[in-house]
Structure 1
Amino acid sequence: MTVSNSPHVLVVDDDPLTRMMATEALREGGFTIREAEDGEQALALFDAAPPDLVLLDVMMPGLSGFEVCQQLRARQTGHLVPIIMLTGLDDGDSVERAFDVGATDFISKPINWTLLRFRIRYVLRSAEVMKELTRNKESLSNAQRIARLGSWEWFVKEDHVLRSAQYYRLFGQRADGFGEGMAAMLEHVYVPDRPLMAAALEGARKGTGFQLTYRVVWPDGSVRTLLETVEPLDGGGERGCSGMVMEGSVQDITEQVDAQRRIRQLAYFDHLTGLPNREFFRETLLGVTSRSLRHDSRCAVMVVDIDRFARINDSLGPERGDQVLQVIAHRLREAMGDRTPAEPAGGSGITRFKVARLAADEFGILMSDVGSVEEMLVLAHRLLQVVRAPIRVPGQDITLSARVGLAVMPDHATDADALLKAAETALNRAKRTNGDPVALFSEEMKVAAFLRFTLEGDLRRALGADELKVLYQPIVDVNQRAIVKAEALVRWSHMDRGSIPPPEFISLAEETGMIVPLSRCVMEQVCADIAALGDDLPDDFRVSINLSGVNFMDAQLLPTVRAVLAEAGIPASRIEFELTETVLMRDLDYATVILAQLREMGVRVAVDDFGTGYSSLAYLRRLAVDTLKIDRSFVNELDDGQGIAIVEAVIGLAHSLGLEVVAEGVETVAQLEALSRRGCHLIQGFLFARPMSSAMLAAALHNPAFVPATVQPAVRRGGVQLAF
């Protein structure tokens, strides 16, 4: 058989779905497949036609995978057939038991089916090497074989052993100091492997051959790995032996084992810190998230980034930088109580914490079975203190700072890759802000991160092109049955993606600093439209413009407003700025000064989304505001009788302070009637109109039927806008 000629694989699993997926994946890889749903059927199929490889599940009813593997190895035809065990168990004892019963390799579920095909081909190539050795042994004389391998003959009855010179060299011993009898070799076997070897020799004493890999300790303390093959010697009686003779050959496979270990080390571990690398971290995360979903538990990922680490390499050199990284890696691992896979936490077989190096100065921390988000945030801040502790290098102490991004499953993601991405997105937010160095993932971060990569350049272009439009949503005085104000709303019709939702590009503009030129463009367009409408506008008509926190804190806000008004030649009384409570309360003293200056200019100010933030009478008395806008969330609750108390409170507060009150998001006649009965007559919403162009606004201002004297619910169309 050659690996390229459709190898036969026996797939043994009691789960039909797993068998089906394995079968399809392997057939696509060019393998010929037979299936068994339990251990008994697997043994029968094996006996009928031994396969080239067995893919064997551990947990099955009846005979377990361990028992099936053990029975296959007991068969003459099953000594060398590779057996790969599939297991959802990730504890060290299960892995150890798998190898104890003769498994060639094991794979933890969930399975990467693409990598499985390559892994099977690798195992088959290794098995082919072993089979080739066996064929050579059968075809070559004992002299040729002994020249290539260490060998021995054991006359069992007399316990007399003839060993080749090469055999002693494999143990690093001289013949005169090795010891007599077969049991003497046990004294040179590595202590943990002695019970297994002793059991194998006891079987050989009864005529049972074996093939076993074990370790020996040389006099200099080095450890070598040997592969021993034992079988009864044919024709022992013809050679004058008085009893059974066993023959063995020993091969030193240390280099092969070390090579495999080095390959794994290079593939899964960081050579500088010794920590798992990103690939190992991701594979571990796949297992932890899968287990968390099965058991309805929570897991979390933190990504820790060292601030300005490049300056250490630049100023002290890469050698010192490497030393610092090694210290940080050790500290993080000690702080988290990280254990290697061979040291399961608490003996439970589950590694609760895992620290890895994800990038040059970036570390990942995986936590399973976590508690509340608040506990995770406390832990993150504790890790920052660990990083900040001074690091002593020759000649000076180095003090570092760091940023942490945190994401929790299932709160922020439902699969491994999404969870890691969420933590990295949170880290990016923490790195872009000067506030809390620990950032917890939110959907807003996800939107911002996506837009940062895909829309930032487009938005910069759109500011200079004709893609951004200003529309106007009328604000109606139902008592006067007239449009008295309008809110300016910016819309982006992307040349490729079509209409972009305002929250998406507004948040991007705020994060990238483009909100300042964007808001100026809106101001200029609004003032130009007001100037163009001229006498078509009522004397007291004004347009409200939304200002973000970035705009409000911009030192050039007042000069910009003055310049735009002067250029358009319109009075400041035509403009009203809308700001949220949160923006105003960030710095109440600053807000008081700026709003007072806007009032001196003649610009009015409205508090948007009132009721969702601080809603304090004290701050309203301090601030020069003219209008309160009832948030649409409270208006929506009027249909089912909820939110009435808050709406009444806002209206009463506005009237007591002599402020206008506007209800936004009004969509139904019932909402309109409820607001009117409580003294709110300024209405904004789809009930009357969607946002419209300045030309359509001019036409609506001159349409006496735009706000009728009576409202007939029967003529409501589309559930959004009424036609009268």
Structure 2
Amino acid sequence: MNESPSLSTLPPHGFAVTGNQRLRESVTVQQLLRPLPPVKIQLNCLGVLDRFLADAEVYALPVIDDHGKPVALLERPSFVEFFSGRFSRDVFGRRSILDLLSCGQYKCDVPLVVEESCTVEDAAQIIIGAGMQHMVTGFMVSRRGSYAGVADGRDLLSIITRQKQAELYYLAHYDALTGIPNRALLSDRLEHACRDADRKGRLVALLFIDVDRFKQINDSLGHSAGDEVLRRIVARLKASARQVDTVARLAGDEFVILMEDLTDPAQVALVARRIIASMQEPIDMLGHVLVATVSIGSVVYPRDDAGVGALLSKADAAMYEAKAVGRNGFRSYSPEMRTYNPASMSLENELRQGIERDELLLHFQPQVALAGGAVLGVEALVRWCHPERGLIPPLQFIPVAEESGLIVALGEWVVRNALAQLRAWRDQGLPSLPVSVNISALQFRQRGFSGFLAEQLAEHRIQPGLLELELTESVLMKNVDAVLQTLTEIKALGVRLAIDDFGTGFSSLSYLRRFPIDRLKIDQSFVRDIDSTPVNESIARAIVALADSLALEIVAEGIETASEVEVLKRIKCVQGQGFLFSKPLDAERFSTWLLNRARSEIVMA
């Protein structure tokens, strides 16, 4: 699949990928347009009031002059309230809207009018400049100066958020340097290809490709030149593969070609030989002429293995066999080859033992008030201290736990020990800080989950309001009725609920209103470089406004610089966490950090 992915390969965001694998934006205000019939400025005020009273869904009414140009946007709350006043109907009821706007007694802000050809990003900046109240009331849209309709601020937020989601999807599934699929997308396509092959009685092959002596290229010419060499190699891999094949980058100088819907294993060797031949052409780089050869190993499904998981390791073993006999060559997998055993294959068993042996530990990251720096709570983050490998980061073992189902036992360990640590801090005389714990989808859906929480709170004698569960949007949007029931049970205990990584999922505003959520956490992808990336500021500002309209608390994740704090304070985000304040610390170091911070605040006071 060398061609650029079609829109169908991305989430339904209204964005596409260009020929050079970069996102292309194609959304203007026209796509937000709602054809709400306007009222003319000569209409009497009772006519407007009747319109509001007849349709409770109408939040604001656009007003146009005799030439069709937008002149005002009458908001329901203020208009209805004004005419609820004493004598207002008698004095102004039969007078025109023009008279009302001119009298000075009725306050109506200058309307926000945006041309329909304006991009949604520019519209967001206009709203930021004009005032975030327009995110709720909406704004008027013009077409060559004449009224065309209205647009909802929430729709604008939705479009901008979906654009960011499309960017995140791209970053999660495509290699930033070369623009080709990464390991995650390759794995997804491989599973699909194998299932398809089973139905059709066809074959699937993997070519594992490693650039020979690439380190020498990097060391002699520099990393920038090395990156360019990789891009040129990718171009040759694409030219050598079939149009339907997937060319992916695993890491560094390792690439894989996925060949599906094969009828003859000989097709694999044909492509491999074509690749090796293409690499013989010299590359002119910074005045140097070099030849970048490759070693290739192949594996065929289901001939070499009927399980998808071992295919990549067997192709890797064949590639190392090609290197062992002199590089610049190709080998097919055979049972005599010694396969590389990925760490994850043994990691599951070791993690199971690690949970049983209490090798896990918690680190704590503070959540602070952006104005003043007061510590408002902590987030508990699990770490694994392996007896031989040392501290293993969550990105390595959490996916293994989720795939194996160990995430339930792991999650229960986290809840149990987070509450135990709260009790220990309280017994030591430290402040009773609320603790946030991440909950996986599998753990959340376990029968008796709320009962487990009640038992742990009682056992450790912790007030329920000091425990906050962080759930992702994806957890909440599956089987909504069952989710709502579980959330209600948890809230009945007094436990707080937060949506983690808000803005990266696909939650609906209507569902958000139904869920008993206490807090939204702005995903760090929107916080990072917020001081220099206008779209990130627009999204964060809109999320803050949304939280405010729903009476929810808001906290920003991943804060690393003081300038990011200043932007967040300006958009009225009051809480945050990130490396700027403290990296995650073990319980003992966090206690020390908390005491030192309290002493410094006393000194400053």
Q: TM-score with structure 1 length normalisation?
A: 0.39
Larger radius of gyration: 1
- Structure number with higher relative contact order (C-alpha < 8 Å, ≥ 6 residues apart): 2
Q: TM-score, normalised by structure 2?
A: 0.46
